Amino acid sequence: MNRPSALSLTAVISVLVVGAASAQQPAAPQPSSVGAPELPVGVELPPGYVIGTDDVLAIVFWRDKEMTTDVVVRPDGKVTLPLVNDLVASGKTPDELRASITEAASRFVDAPTVTVVVKQINSRKVYITGMVGKSGSFPLSGPTTVLQLISMAGGLHDFADSKNIIINRIEGGKQIALKFNYNDVSKGKKLQQNIELRPGDTVVVP
């Protein structure tokens, strides 16, 4: 039987040593997300949701903790952000607000990447005041018309000016007034006045 030569044994040992050294080498480093803030948990948004007064939002700037902040939508429908200052939020979807913030922040930050997370929804309420049985706020848990809200509020007082009811609404950051004639609608006339209310609407019964 032929014995392995010293040269063959040396070659085998070299291969084993090189293989063991390769196995001990650390894996190649993977891309790191250090500095990228974790997105906060948001609430489930109802169909057709738009941002409103008192909603709590998380504005997250990718890799920019100084710009990332939580904000509450003010009664004027605006939020205040670092550098950007005041922006209209009320009446916009989260995506529309994200686009507005991105555009405004581009003046101060290179290629900003912004995410808007809705943390709390406090705005889905409507209000009624004046000559009704019960003034105050009512939760908007489903589609609600002006006539339905008046009924929820206990109806009109005897001396209410039922022909000149007003719905105050903030739209695009501006306040608008819509007229409602209770007498006509209750008789089945001019039903287009009996609009579906939006969160934040206030019905004023003189």
Q: How far is CA 64 from each of CA 37, 48, 99, 112, rounded to the nearest angstrom?
A: 8, 30, 17, 9
pLDDT band for 36, please (50, 70, 90 cuts): low
Q: How far is CA 151 from the centre of its chain?
A: 31
Rounded Cα gap, residues 61 and 166, in angstroms: 41
- The verdict on pTM exceeding 0.75 is no
> C-alpha angle 178/183/184, rounded to 5°?
70
**Domain locations along the chain:** 56-120, 125-205
Q: Which CATH superfamily is domain 125-205 in?
A: Outer membrane lipoprotein wza domain like (3.10.560.10)
Tokens representing residue 109 in the block = 């930050």
Rounded Cα gap, residues 72 and 128, in angstroms: 23
Contact 182, 162 (CB under 8 A): yes
pLDDT of 52 > 70? The answer is yes
Indicate if 125-205 has the same CATH topology as 56-120. Answer: no
> C-alpha angle 176/178/180, rounded to 5°?
160
**How much of the chain, in percent, has pLDDT values that exceed 90?**
62
User: Mean pLDDT, to the nearest integer, of 168-187?
Assistant: 93
CATH number of 56-120: 3.30.1950.10
Q: How far is CA 106 from the centre of its chain?
A: 20
β-pairing verdict for 69-72 and 56-61: antiparallel
pLDDT per residue over 111-143, tens digit each?
A: 999 999 999 988 889 999 999 999 999 988 778
